[in-house]
Amino acid sequence: QVQLVESGGGLVQPGGSLRLSCAASGSVFSINAMGWYRQAPGKQRELVATITSGGRTNYADSVKGRFTISRDNAKNTMYLQMNSLKPEDTAVYLCNLDYMFRGLGYNHWGQGTQVTVSS
């Protein structure tokens, strides 16, 4: 049913910027929230940023002031603008969709896109 495709990852030097995209397709009736998570090798997956259907945003303390989450409802696409990137931002970034369909709640993950911040 639901498919999430991330793109925009790559290699960037410290202080650089990247813009991640997450395109959603399928029969989605009611979106509760969308978010970006990241996971580095040997570490737990952590929340980066979320945005609710009403537009409320939430950020991890480590990315506040540097990252911006947004969405384009017409394109069913979510974005993560990442500025002033640091080596510790290196991780696989995953798109997450939390939604309701036929009265039931679902949580779906994309395949992830690699972000590497290095000199």
pLDDT tens column, 37-92: 999 999 999 999 999 988 999 999 999 999 999 998 888 899 999 999 999 999 99
Residue 28 has what pLDDT?
67
Question: How many alpha carbons lie under 13 Å from residue 54 in its C-beta half-sphere?
Answer: 2
CA distance 95 to 20: 9
94 forms bridges with which residues in the sheet?
A: 37
| Contact call for residues 62 and 81 (beta carbons, < 8 A) | no
Pairing of β 104-109 and β 3-7? unpaired
Residues 6+ apart with CB under 8 A from 103: none
| Contact call for residues 3 and 109 (beta carbons, < 8 A) | no
